[in-house]
Amino acid sequence: MLTVFVAYPFLRGIYLSFLDSVVGREGEWVGFKNYIKLFNDGIFHRAAANTFIYTIIATILKLGIGMAVALMLNNIIRFKRVLRASMLLPWIVPTVLSALAWKWMFDPTFSIINWIFYNLGFIDVRVAWLGSPLGAMASVIIVNTWRGMPFFAITLLAGLQTINPSVQEAAAIDGATPWQRFRFVTWPLLKPVTMVVVLFSVIMTFADFQLVYILTGGGPSNSTHLFATYAYQLAIATGLIGEGAAASLCMFPILFLVVIGQLWYIRRGDGTKGGA
Amino acid sequence: MSEKKEKKSVSIPRRTFLKQAAVTTGALSLGGIPGILVTGQAPAYAKGTTLHYLKESHFVPAADKAFLALAKEFGKEAGCTVRVERITQNDVRPRTAAAIEAKSGPDIVHMFNNLPHLFANGIIDMDDVAEAIGKAQGGYHEVFKANAFQDGRWVAVPEFGFAWAWAYREDWMKEAGYDKFPETLDGLREFGKTMKAKGKPIGQGFGHSENDPNIYCYSLIWCFGGKELEADGKTVALDSKETIEAVKWNTAFWKDALDEGGLSWDDGSNNRAYISGSISATGNAVSIYFMARDKFPEVYQVTNHAHMPAGPAGRYLYLATQSTGVTKYSKNQKLAKEFVKWFMTAENYEKYFDAGGTFGLPPTKMWHDSTVWTRDPKCTVFRDVVDYSRAIGYAGPPSRKASEAYSKYIIVDMFAKAIQGMSAEEAVKWAANEYRKIYA
């Protein structure tokens, strides 16, 4: 099964990236030509930089907000189940659907965000949220954070609930402030879970496609293209299958290093904990 | 004019129709569906077959309805089922590419613009069908042929073009002291400046969306005398003083006259902005007008249409066309071709053309005299846009490489970058370099 669904597409992708395939024609072996073309391609440079910016900022936001929400939910007694279930909504709604709803909210003419801000007196002209490079990038990051945060919150909440309350109580009796209890008790015990969540999130955010494709299509002027959206544009929209495969595979070594780095960090963390 | 009254009109003069229909029948009588229709029997290969047709949802719902009725009629006559899959226009390209790569999916694909060039390796020759239709219907307009003809063969059969002109609010224009819509681009800028000062700017999209942003941006370059390539189809000629002038003009036009939302607009955004009364004019197909007619009569009454204003080099329009192709992997190629041929005969096509109003510009010349163009004088302008239209890749052919530049939105982004603050010279240089990489 693994061979069919993982190894074959992966190996086929590598093979295609060395061909000059276009739609409907297998193509001939061209060596590293596709990769060389990409490394000289300004749009690809932009997509690569965008992917890093998008992943780093969105992951930090998701971690920060997710942690805050998890801590809050851990202390809430009433309506616990309702709150947890409702918080998961952004995560369980199909991405395409929620992205379309956000696109409507960012619409320069009909944006409800504009309408609210206008009526509150914050703005006096309509803001084109997806119209400027900075605004578009900020918008896609916000939507990604909105969508991905529940994953962090629920997983961290699960982690929090495995922490023995007596440890917290002992720290409280010793006079630790809430911040100290978080910093020196909760955080170290939660770190392995956090690293795993961050690892998954980085992989998913780095390879994100749907949100950007629907919200901006990579525009305006390529300011929100990511590796995945640009690879798709090359391979499927433009028909340059070989180049698209190469663009897509450029993600692999980066993600591979990220995974190795984080797994190494987690293992080291486990070792420390085991020795303590 | 009421919708009922409009529908009563005869589409093309009876004499012309009979003449063309006779020629068409003659040309196609060697076999195929006309024969099927005469005998009333489906050929053996058709019985029980399902033809899968992939196309975009038509912007005019009545045209979709007419198409589905025709597909059903063909299915009944030929003893097969024609399954029409309709998706959004921006998704047709990736869906077709994926189908050709996977060698599985639709038998017939409806291709936008010069996609037949991009997919030429995955679709079969349509010489017999295209030639017969062209011969019977007075020949093809050049722009349609350019997009569907490659290396001496028809890779697709032209179906219609997006007739595109400027929709404008006549009432606001007159209130602002203008008798008629500007004839020149400089006039358009002045007009837009006045309207923007009144809180009703002109609307134009520069987002990554197939139709409106590309149509406007390519046309603008030509109106200033610029071009993507030399006639050899290889030498990039984009970085010229004419293109720089076009970009400079547009940046000024953006500041003076355009709605600031345009950088993120897709093909539907300007329709919505116009209908809601946020903008006073926008370049579009007739769909805005039809939407207003059906749902917003107060906007419909005060809307009119005008030609693309002329620039220093004249008036030009990138006319986006639609063509129909049959996939190489299809097991029903013969039947698929028969359907395309049957559909494009004057008798059947007229129903589709009539239902679409003036949205779709037929690919052949016989339809020029159709009363569809004149039954609402506000729409007659759409008939004549073909006279000054061009295909992308000009002055070269609309080749696969032109398609690559197109699908990367290089021309649109060139204008967008200048709007965002890059100098016109730098923006044109950037775009020309991207072109050189593609045409290397």
The tokens for B38 are 């005469």
Of the CA atoms within 13 Å of residue A39, those in its CB half-sphere come to 7
What span, in angstroms and rounded, lies between the C-alpha atoms of B383 and B348?
A: 20
**Structural Rg of chain B based on CA atoms:** 22
Looking at the complex, does the CB of residue B153 fall below 8 Å from at least one CB of chain A?
A: no
Q: How far away is chain A from the Cα of B414, in angstroms, using its nearest Cα?
A: 8
The tokens for A47 are 């997509």
Tell me the one-letter amino acid at B370: S
- Contact: A239, B118; criterion CB under 8 Å: yes
- pLDDT, mean over chain A: 88
- Given a cut of 50, is residue B38 above it in pLDDT? no
Q: Provide the percentage of residues in chain A whose pLDDT is more than 70.
A: 97
- Given a cut of 70, is residue B4 above it in pLDDT? no
- Given a cut of 70, is residue A113 above it in pLDDT? yes
Give the model confidence (pLDDT) of B54-111 as tens digits.
Answer: 999 888 889 999 999 999 999 999 899 999 999 988 788 889 998 998 899 999 999 9
Give the model confidence (pLDDT) of B359-369 as tens digits.
Answer: 999 999 999 99
Q: What are the angstrom distances between the C-alpha of B41 and each of B48, B69, B80, B367?
A: 13, 19, 11, 31
Q: Which of B90, B118, B263 sits opposite A220 (nearest CB)?
A: B263
**Between A86 and B125, the higher pLDDT residue:** B125
**How is residue B315 annotated by DSSP?**
-
Q: What is the ipTM score, two decimals?
A: 0.76
Q: DSSP of A25-77, one letter per residue?
A: B---B-TTHHHHHHHT-HHHHHHHHHHHHHHHHHHHHHHHHHHHHHHHHHH--
Positive/negative CA dihedral, A254, A257, A263, A265: negative
pLDDT of residue B29: 39
Average of per-residue pLDDT across A243-270: 86
Looking at the complex, does the CB of residue A124 fall below 8 Å from at least one CB of chain B?
A: no
Instruction: Give the pLDDT band of residue B234 (cuts 50, 70, 90).
Output: very high
Question: Please, what is the angle between helix A241-249 and helix A8-16, to 10°?
Answer: 120
Residue in B112, B113, B208 to test binding to A, most A beta-carbons within 10 Å: B208
Contacts of B286 (CB under 8 A, 6+ apart): B60, B163, B165, B167, B305, B357, B358, B359, B379, B382
| Strand duo B50-56 + B108-112: pairing | parallel
pLDDT of residue B31: 46
The model's pTM: 0.83
Q: What are the angstrom distances between the C-alpha of B358 and each of A79, B158, B297, B302, B368?
A: 59, 17, 18, 18, 11
What span, in angstroms and rounded, lies between the C-alpha atoms of B216 and B222?
A: 10
Positive/negative CA dihedral, B172, B178, B179, B180: negative
Closest CA to A213 of A47, A86, A6, A39: A47
> Which of A119-133, B320-334, B372-386, B405-419 bottoms out in mean pLDDT, i.e. has the lowest?
A119-133
Burial class of B358 by CB neighbour count within 10 A (0 to 12, 13 to 18, 19+): buried
- Given a cut of 80, is residue B381 above it in pLDDT? yes
What span, in angstroms and rounded, lies between the C-alpha atoms of B318 and B283?
A: 12
Looking at the complex, does the CB of residue B429 fall below 8 Å from at least one CB of chain A?
A: no
Burial class of B47 by CB neighbour count within 10 A (0 to 12, 13 to 18, 19+): exposed
Give the model confidence (pLDDT) of B325-359 as tens digits.
Answer: 999 999 999 999 999 999 999 999 999 999 998 89
Looking at the complex, does the CB of residue A183 fall below 8 Å from at least one CB of chain B?
A: no
Instruction: Give the pLDDT band of residue A269 (cuts 50, 70, 90).
Output: low
Closest CA to B289 of B301, B280, B279: B301
- Look-up of token digits 């007419």: B66
In chain A, what residues touch B97 (CB-CB under 8 Å)? 23, 235-237, 239
What span, in angstroms and rounded, lies between the C-alpha atoms of A113 and A97?
A: 18
What span, in angstroms and rounded, lies between the C-alpha atoms of B202 and B183?
A: 15
Tell me the one-letter amino acid at A201: S
What span, in angstroms and rounded, lies between the C-alpha atoms of A106 and A102?
A: 6
What span, in angstroms and rounded, lies between the C-alpha atoms of A25 and A19?
A: 10
In chain B, what residues touch A129 (CB-CB under 8 Å)? 264
The tokens for B108 are 């017939």
Q: How far away is chain A from the Cα of B145, in angstroms, using its nearest Cα?
A: 21
> What residue spans of B137-209 are helical by DSSP H?
142-148, 170-175, 185-197
pLDDT of residue B315: 97
Looking at the complex, does the CB of residue A66 fall below 8 Å from at least one CB of chain B?
A: no
- Look-up of token digits 């990579």: A218
What are φ and ψ of residue B224, in 5° steps?
-95, 0
Average of per-residue pLDDT across B217-230: 97
The tokens for B419 are 């709007």
Q: Which of A128, A136, A237 sits opposite B260 (nearest CB)?
A: A128
Q: Which of A40, A41, A132 sits opposite B420 (nearest CB)?
A: A132
**How is residue B45 annotated by DSSP?**
T
Average of per-residue pLDDT across A145-173: 90
In chain A, what residues touch B261 (CB-CB under 8 Å)? 107-109, 126, 128, 131
Q: Which of B90, B94, B208 sits opposite A216 (nearest CB)?
A: B208
A220, containing H or E segment: none
Contact at 8 Å (CB) between A74 and A159? no
Count CB pairs under 8 A between chains A and B: 123
- Contact: B408, A128; criterion CB under 8 Å: no
Contact at 8 Å (CB) between B413 and A233? no
Q: Which of A107, A218, A236 sits opposite B208 (nearest CB)?
A: A218
The tokens for B424 are 């016109």
Give the model confidence (pLDDT) of A206-230 as tens digits.
Answer: 999 999 999 998 878 889 999 999 9
- Contact: A125, B260; criterion CB under 8 Å: yes
Instruction: Give the pLDDT band of residue A25 (cuts 50, 70, 90).
Output: confident
Q: Which of residues 17-36 of A touch B (CB under 8 A)?
A: 22-25
In B170-265, the DSSP E strands lie at 202-203
pLDDT of residue B293: 92
Q: How far away is chain B from the Cα of A40, in angstroms, using its nearest Cα?
A: 9
Q: How far away is chain A from the Cα of B333, in angstroms, using its nearest Cα?
A: 16
